[in-house]
Amino acid sequence: SFQDKNALHLYSVNGKYLGSETLKEEVSDMCVTGEYIVMGSLQGFLSIRDLYSLSLSISPLAMRLPIHCISVTKEYSHILVGLEDGKLIIVSVGKPAEV
């Protein structure tokens, strides 16, 4: 099953392996924003992970439908989530300390 195959691997810029995290979902889109990785999955979850530890910063948010794309505004204030049915969900993000 896909659950056995999905993992996030972290390497330094010169190729040193730093760690990995097994994922329960199938990633459909992701972006690195500051010190966070924002990921969307085909199972409909929006996840925010710490870039260095790979641990979840908050509990994944259920969007109920497969996520096709994600984008973060340049002020890091909102996450735009495009769903399979064509809807655009806008998620407001507090300052990193509040997340």
- The per-residue pLDDT for range 28-47, each reduced to its tens digit, is 999 999 899 999 999 999 99
Residue type, 13: V
d(CA 83, CA 71): 12
- List the domains of the chain with CATH numbers: 2-11+26-92 (2.40.10.480)
Residue type, 12: S
pLDDT, tens only, 33-90? 989 999 999 999 999 999 999 999 999 999 999 999 999 998 889 999 999 999 999 9
- Asked if residue 21 has pLDDT above 80, the reply is yes
Three-class secondary structure of residue 4 per DSSP: helix
